[in-house]
Amino acid sequence: MRIYIKLIAVILITALILPMSFTSCGYRSKYDTVMEYNGIKLTEEFYNYWMATFKRNILASYTDAEDTDEFWSSKFDETRTVEEYFTEILNKEIMNYLISQDLYKKNSLKLSSSTKKAIKNDIEEKIEFYGGRGSLNSTLSKMMLNIDALEQIYLWEAKHDYVYSYMFGQNGPLEITDDVLIEYYQENYYRIKYVVFYTTDIAVDEDGNYVYDDRGELVSKPLSSEALEKKMQKINEFKTKLEGGTDFDTLIKDYSEYDTSSYPDGFFVSENDIDIWGPEILKAVINGKEGEVVTVTEDESVFYVQICKLTPFEELTDADITQLTNLKFTEHATRKVYNDFYEQLSAKVKINTKVMNRYKLSKIKPNPHYSI
């Protein structure tokens, strides 16, 4: 099963549960502890909430995602199922939020009054939207929560974000330097150019309008036998010229069925951009060699991808920097430092496997409330 994994912003946030499962606001959990770090406990109602919300985002964000046993048990790679892969991501995010609560305390950080007020106002708006505290609590109870617990979730998220900005921002203990950016660029990015041929057509209805599926995506249809024959002739002509040494830029101009003229120097590619390129192109580029042209055949297209020399960091043009900025290059580099830092600290997280195993992505109901 082909899954387009991408880095998306999902609400994976936790609730502040201090030793003995109390919080500063007096919230007391009646549920079991799933994780603990330096005396800060994270109980199962919050774990249930994050998993349900994460599952909702998975189903909404990936083209091939379906809430079926077949999907969750399908192979993501040689060693993991799809469920195992996403559960690993979920648990790491939850650990990071848990660890952040300790870092927040150790670094004597304080949320601004405006941040706290915004959280309070958000809760009040939800109470009004759902028709009162009782009604909102009734809705939340179906996810093992109440209003106090939901407020703690928002506080944990805010504290995590504050720690992130403090630790990795300007003048922070782990500020992202130019050297860090250069190293990340060199180790994680490739540059490519490509020629693409589309091997299907776009479906239209009886009135000539494009047809969309239930996800809002265009529906394709097979080419007619005549059109397919002409397409194969065009592809074979291209391949003959490619093998004959015709300049690849010339071939792009003469044959590619997608206009890439706005990127004359090529595209930057990294594993962060799998939502743009798909797994097959990324795999071919990563495993290929500089100067090589690799062929990637997909369901609706054939790509001929030239792996170019990666532009030295100090020679990047304004257009290059704009492209990298649009690809969130700095954010990804920061995230790498963040992940490495938290990975070291996570060794001290105590996990109650028995309690954690009560919750499975394949079995839990997705959070149906986009406002919660």
Residues 6+ apart with CB under 8 A from 113: none
* C-alpha 301: how far from chain center: 25
Query: Is residue 248 domain-shared with residue 294, that is, in the same domain?
Result: yes
- The tokens describing 201, both together, are 């057509």
11 within domain boundaries: no
Mark whether 70 and 103 lie in a shared domain.
yes
Looking at the fold, whether 266 and 139 belong to one and the same domain comes out as no
Do 146 and 200 lie in one domain? The reply is: no
| Same domain membership, residue 204 and residue 344 | no
Q: How many structural domains does the chain have?
A: 2
- Asked whether residue 368 is assigned to any structural domain, the reply reads no
On whether both 23 and 151 belong to a single domain, the answer is yes
Return the pLDDT at 208: 82
Establish if 347 belongs to a structural domain.
yes
On whether residue 67 sits in a domain, the answer given is yes
For residue 257, give the CATH number of its domain: 3.10.50
> What pTM does this model have?
0.79
pLDDT given at position 12: 33
Give the residues across from 197 on adjacent strands.
302
Please provide residue 271's backbone torsions phi and psi, each rounded to the nearest 5 degrees.
Answer: -65, -20
Residue 9 lies in a domain: no
Contact 10, 57 (CB under 8 A): yes
Does 2 map to a domain?
A: no
Q: Helix or strand or coil: residue 209?
A: coil
- Both 23 and 158 in one domain: the answer is yes
* 60 and 173 inside one domain: yes
Encode the chain (372 residues) as per-residue pLDDT tens digits: 433 333 333 333 333 323 333 333 457 888 999 999 999 999 999 999 999 999 999 998 887 789 999 999 999 888 999 999 999 999 999 999 999 999 999 999 999 999 999 999 999 999 999 999 999 999 999 999 999 999 998 999 899 999 999 999 999 999 999 999 999 999 999 999 999 999 998 888 888 888 888 777 788 889 999 999 999 999 999 999 999 999 999 999 999 999 999 999 999 999 999 889 988 999 999 999 999 999 999 989 999 999 999 999 999 999 999 999 999 999 999 999 999 999 999 999 999 999 999 999 999 999 998 888
Q: Is the dihedral of CA 318, 319, 321, 322 positive or negative?
A: positive
pLDDT for the residue 17: 29
98 in any annotated domain: yes
Range of the domain at 298: 190-309
The answer as to whether 14 is a domain residue is no
Q: Are residues 59 and 173 in the same domain?
A: yes
- Contacts of 240-248 with CB under 8 Å at 24 or more apart are 242/293, 242/304, 248/193, 248/195, 248/293, 248/306
Q: What does the pLDDT read at residue 6?
A: 35
Same domain, yes or no: 337 and 291: no
CA-wise closest residue to 49 among 200, 152, 185? 152
pLDDT at 26: 56
Which residue(s) pair with 20 in the sheet?
A: none
